[in-house]
Structure 1
Amino acid sequence: MLYWLLYQKLFPYFRIFRIFRYLTFRTVCGSLTALLIGLLIGPYVIEKLREFQIGQYIREEGPQSHQKKSGTPTMGGVLILISILVPTFLWSDLSNPLVWLVMMSTLLFGAIGFADDYIKVVHRRNQGLTAWAKLGLQLLVSGGVAVVLVGLETHGNYSTRLMVPFAKRFRPDLVIDSLLHMPHLWWLAYVGFVVFVMIVIAGSSNAVNLTDGLDGLAIGCTIIAAGALTVLTYVSGHVVFADYLELQRMPLVSELTVFCGAMVGGSIGFLWYNAHPAEIFMGDVGSLALGGAIGTVAVVIKQELLLPFIGGVFILEAVSVMLQVGSYKLRNGKRIFKMAPLHHHFELMGWSESKVIARFWIMALVFALFALTTLKLR
């Protein structure tokens, strides 16, 4: 909105507003705005959550050291959503359809998490939404994103071609390559693309959700992943950098840099209150929204295959749960880890909560830096 007002409308009369044309300036403004929103309204949100007695329920089978956290205000993801979406609305070019797509995806995933938290906290039903209901809604939103991307692809504003890490020439097209092999089943090629996008985005959303188990763990890893996405988004939309790094340039993508910057700033603002010992938890409304946002941005900028490195800790947490459940069912109750997700395993090994958090942040940073190095190692 401010971009439209200050640059597109007032720039012809006030040349000082020329600065608002620069994406880097608007990204910094968006990030700082998100940070300030988080810091300024954080105490108000915490107070209101306490007033409405929206406190965290701690499952009995979890680590006993976590029982003291029971009653801590949760559903703080509302603060995260405000901190991300408002600056994006203010500082990005709202004529860009990809900006609206990513914002709507984030908001809808947040709505799923809000419904789950509302049932658990307000109605005192500890299970919240059933696992199948939650997954079904996530797949529905992810499928909607995929359908919109197919529509943009038909107008030349998106590509279904994959960017493969470490490979310069190998860039398979999920739709075109399939059409060449089965021209009479053209619809099946698009169905395959939609399913792929659904798996990536819904998987990302659930992975962040599983990571949200310690004070500041998920939000700290999100800051790092969002920072990496900010760089990847900027270079993917920049004509010089995209050509130098042999990336598939997509001009519309560059505007998402503002969104990613806002995600970094908003997450830092939330970490101020979520750091150990946490004054507020993000709840599913925050974790599902952040995971959905990360997955959606990765799909839009064609870095789906790089996502396991961008969010490496999230993937490790999700895989640990799958391995634990698989082992329990297939090996007659035998477990691989002391407890899943993975962060609880290290807690039960004797690591303090702060040590687990700090070391997982370090791993997240290493993964993200590795993801960025693949831009040149091609």
Structure 2
Amino acid sequence: MRSASLPPDDPGPVFDGVQVLEVAQWTFAPAAAAVLADFGASVIKIEDPVTGDPQRGLASSGVVPMVGGVNVVTAQTNRGKRSVGLNLRDPRGHELLLRLVDRADVFVTNFRGPARRKLGFDEDTVRARNPRIVYARATAQGARGPDADRGGYDFTSFWMRSGIAAALTAEDADRPLPQPPAFGDKAGAMNLAFGIAAALYRRERTGVGSTVDVSLLGSALWQHSSAILYSWGLDREFPVVTGRSANPIARSYRTGDGRWIALMMIESDRWWPDLCRHLDRPDLLADERFADAAARSANHDACVAELERVFAALPLREWERRLADLAGPWAVLRSMRETATDPQVVENGYAVPVDHDGTEVRLMSAPVQFDEQVPELRRAPEHAEHSEQVLLELGCDWAEITRLKDAGVV
């Protein structure tokens, strides 16, 4: 259904008119629904009418920071949605949920199977009410197998179980390398959003609704598949941390002021001459030890030692000036704070300022753009902010809404 506010020659957002119903918590599934909202979907988030999504409590408990009074985790994960507080344990609340199911194109959840069945929004119940719906399940370990109904966060199911933590942890470390916050959740969310988009496309062509399954474990195995497949093929752990590239210009070098520059010139013979010129070391081109890729590999340590001395001689600012027009792939190791002013981040709209009732907070946009347009992000809702509005849309009158509120249903 096309928005009436769009001019006839404007195709509008990709998911304009798509109705999404989210019964989910924390980050994985909610972040997928937020991506759909970025691109025009109307997303209704169902929350417990008293406690809300437990993610909201992370800021008040000091686990995540507040920025100008805004819970940035909730802002990032739930932007562009409407929030309805609904007690699904009450039959009246459950019936209201099913009335929302009637209107939905997509149902998104990350509740475990037993909870979905107990609360009455398992796939069979939802599909009996709306056969064309796309039913999207975000799970920890997958929909089948002995751990299908076992819960998990991305730290356990994505980071630890998949081998990623093992690959990045040094053998002599006192504990596994910790995971960045929501690292696996965000990867899984994009996979889930893709699955939902594909299911909507299939339904457009066939009229048939699909069940979409994405797990944190499956997302991690895909993300980490190169090193895992190397390990399986070699029948030993592929050395990610301690492994040494045979190519001296596919590694990092420390500058004179302690910063790092990464070279990733896989086509070594293609990039070596230009690199030497930019380093102001044309003599390296005449050195038989470094004549070609095979020679540089055979004399790896000597080549690396030369390059280490070169890069250590100057500060980062000077290297950025000298390498500015170097065609071969290279990058500076940036801090998270530095990304805020990275011109590529700014110019491409990868971080978007969003007004939260007078407080502007920059949020990360989904890493997809259509027709060179940066998605317009809207703030996340307050807990149960839109309950009355949505119930009125369902046909409830104010007297009924008052009774439902008095009874703790909404």
TM score, norm. by length of structure 1: 0.27
Question: Bigger radius of gyration, 1 or 2?
Answer: 2
TM score, norm. by length of structure 2: 0.26
Relative to its length, the structure with more strand (as a share) is 2
